[in-house]
Amino acid sequence: MMEVGRVCVKIAGREAGRYCVILKKIDENFVLVTGPKLLTGVKRRKCNVMHLEPTPYKIEIKEEANDREVIKAFEKANLIKKFELKKPSEAELKKVEGKKEEKKKPKKAKRTKTKKKS
């Protein structure tokens, strides 16, 4: 029942009661899930399957799909209206994607000051 694309409700933790989608099955006990955060408030993270309640809904996504693809799949399956979710605007999506790119840039090594000997 816990396969890629299955829509679930988190039943434990700070995100309890929110919808999420399974992106990847890590092992028998853990899966990778996302809301995505802009749509349902659930961040992409590893989650114990005991903390998820599967719903009868399944969306067509590839394994480890990005947030934009998940939102499009939610729209295609008409689940945004069904779950009464607020679809994020294009500006919000671009803003979040811009922040992700900034984090991926390698940081320059800091220079250390050398003491002058007198």
Higher pLDDT pick, 84 / 99: 84
Query: Is residue 117 in some structural domain?
Result: no
Query: Is residue 77 in some structural domain?
Result: yes
Query: Is residue 35 in some structural domain?
Result: yes
Q: Which domain holds residue 26?
A: 6-90
Query: Is residue 68 in some structural domain?
Result: yes
14: three-class secondary structure by DSSP: coil
Query: Is residue 85 in some structural domain?
Result: yes
Query: Is residue 24 in some structural domain?
Result: yes
What's the distance, CA 21 to chain centroid? 8
19: three-class secondary structure by DSSP: strand
Query: Is residue 34 in some structural domain?
Result: yes
68 close to 86: Cβ distance less than 8 angstroms: no
Q: What pLDDT is recorded for position 101? A: 65
Whether residue 105 is predicted with pLDDT greater than 70 in this model: the reply is no
Whether residue 56 is predicted with pLDDT greater than 90 in this model: the reply is yes
Identify the CATH number of the domain in which residue 18 sits. Answer: 2.30.30.30
Number of domains in the chain: 1
Give the DSSP per-residue string, 22-67.
EEEE-SSSEEEEE--HHHHSPPSEEEEGGGEEEEEEE----TT--H
Whether residue 100 is predicted with pLDDT greater than 70 in this model: the reply is no
Section 84-94 average pLDDT: 84
